[in-house]
Amino acid sequence: MEAEEFRRCGKQMVDFVADYISNIRDRRVVPDVHPGYILELIPDQAPDEGESWEEVFKDIERVIMPGASSPACTELEMVMLDWLGKMLQLPEVFLFSSKGLGGGVIQGTASEATLVALLSARNKILSTFKTENKVGGTMEKLICYASVQAHSSVEKAGMLGGVKFCPLPVDNNLSLRGDVLQSAIEKDRAKGDIPFLVVGTLGTTNSCAFDNIKELGEVCSKENIWFHIDAAYAGSAFICPEFRHLLDGVEKADSFTMNPHKWMMVNFDCSAMWIKNRHDLVEAFNVNPIYLKHDKEGQIPDYRHWQIPLGRRFRSLKMWFVFRMFGVKGLQAHIQKHVGLAHEFEELVTKDQRFEIVFPVILGLVCFRLKGSDTLNEEVLRLINERGKITLTPTRFKEMFVIRFAVCSKNTESADIQYAWQEICYISTQVLLEGKL
């Protein structure tokens, strides 16, 4: 939505809220809709083509207001997670529409999703041990794995979950492979540790590297270990047919996360998480006091047992608005444009003999550096960020200092790529001319 359209639609929405406040006493205190009412009012998948704001706006009164905050908040979330799951071509088993045990939920961030997966996996294995009457000190033997390239939130989830975390080495493509995982599991089991969770990453923060989730999934199945996939950033790209192959292997996962707030124009926070067996979640999270009991239990998921907080916000509304106004094609075009711009930047870097590309460019992230010392690259990065015309962030690979260039704004155009490259060249030339580094 461009500025002027936002100006118009935003004011229409303000009027809607003001009218609601004025007329609130005319409405029922609690809705009288039946469970599942929203499915009868909206389609079961996202539109291919974008719709107008007017079409979306009139559905707020038609679809949402009869169900008010509850059950509309829960039901729209269920449908939106199914819409998104279908866009990603997730296996049916993850969707509510399969009528099985799977389904999706909105968490705040991928950190929360990872922690929720870890706590569910921990509860599952501890329950098994309890059933088998093994006792004492079990918790401190639990161990989870991810690649050394995984996001810091995996290590943090391990700390908060009170279990060991073991970062595993990667291959030359910065990918965690099945054989590495397999031998770690065997070694740790021999020591008396209990492997219970593997977090595979699709699109690491450092370099947008991809773990081999097919191999990891097979090891996890064989070893009976929970397999969680974190595709926080890269996940949005999987709605494009040309990138969907990167998600092959997801069928072996127990849970999967990607963040629409990262690359799908849905405002922060909105982290989508799917789970194969919702009982695993609910058993880890369910406490049920009398003041929270209701007469629809069992008819519809109680999302409060799918997350850490009790209260929930109506975050599916923003997914609904964005998915409808862009349509699947519009969202795909957004991703494709960014990947195109990243390749445009890659080409500029490649053509300049002073620079090198450090990792293959697959999505919107370009990792590059000046050929030369770390000190040189650190100084260039420092000066660029100090000038404040563009902002870049660093990473490290095998002790080497690397600069990260990320295409992520909805408004980024080819001219911005050229502008950024000019800025990088200007600073680099200055630093190289000084010649001290």
| Chain contacts with its own copies (rule: CB under 8 A) | 2-4, 6-7, 10-11, 14-15, 17-19, 21-22, 24, 28-30, 32, 108-109, 111-112, 115, 119, 122-123, 136-140, 151-153, 155-156, 159-162, 205-206, 268-269, 284-285, 287-292, 308-311, 313, 385, 388-391, 393-396, 404, 411
Q: Which is nearer to its own copies, 42 or 317 (CB)?
A: 317
Q: Which is nearer to its own copies, 219 or 322 (CB)?
A: 322
Calculate the alpha carbon distances from 52 to 58, 80, 324 in Å.
10, 18, 8
Closest distance to its own copies from the beta carbon of 217 (Å): 26
Q: Which is nearer to its own copies, 288 or 422 (CB)?
A: 288
Q: Which is nearer to its own copies, 90 or 113 (CB)?
A: 113
Closest distance to its own copies from the beta carbon of 268 (Å): 6
Q: What is the amino acid identity at position 56?
A: V
Q: Which is nearer to its own copies, 34 or 329 (CB)?
A: 34
Closest distance to its own copies from the beta carbon of 347 (Å): 23
Q: Which is nearer to its own copies, 124 or 252 (CB)?
A: 124
Q: Which is nearer to its own copies, 69 or 173 (CB)?
A: 69
Closest distance to its own copies from the beta carbon of 43 (Å): 29
Closest distance to its own copies from the beta carbon of 389 (Å): 6
| Gap between the Cα atoms of 275 and 307, Å rounded | 12
Closest distance to its own copies from the beta carbon of 221 (Å): 26
Q: Which is nearer to its own copies, 98 or 123 (CB)?
A: 123
Closest distance to its own copies from the beta carbon of 53 (Å): 13
